[in-house]
Amino acid sequence: MDQNREWMYRRLDGKYLNKVFIEKVGEFISFTCRQEEFQRCQKLKCPCVKCRSKPYSDVDTIKLHLYQRGFQPNYYRWIHHGEPFPDEEGACASSSNVEVVVNPMREMVMDAYTPITSLLLQEATLNTTHEPIPEAKRFLHLL
């Protein structure tokens, strides 16, 4: 992936989306979709100005957010989208014969967090409301 990330903050060309921005967003999405985390849960953290890499979303939603809002400020190193932290780069290049676990603590947290996030997303998309039981209804009515 191109290390010059200035395109990330040149979203508009006048009133319209910059063609380079659209092309590079596509490359960004392709890069992130090749990462192990995406392969597991089929969702990505949204790096737009509003979401700031917090919620997980599908690829089309992330593209839309980036086109509408742009990237969060100073997100030149894509640490939430598969790029290693600066201190991890040297460890990976030390030997090609040794399998190096990039960051076991991060992997452990993501393994625990991803199913919970998936459940919350699934629950939010169902948008079902449950009628309270009669006892709870009476109590709520008294309030």
pTM as predicted: 0.56
Report how many helices (DSSP H) and strands (DSSP E) the chain contains, helices first.
6, 4
The answer, yes or no, to whether residue 99 has pLDDT greater than 50, is: no
Question: What are the structural domain ranges in the chain?
Answer: 6-84+102-142
Phi, psi of 68 (to 5 degrees): -80, -40
Cross-strand pairs, 57 = 44
| 30-39: average pLDDT | 87
Look at residue 92 in the predicted model and tell me its pLDDT. 43
CA–CA separation, 17 and 22 (whole Å): 7
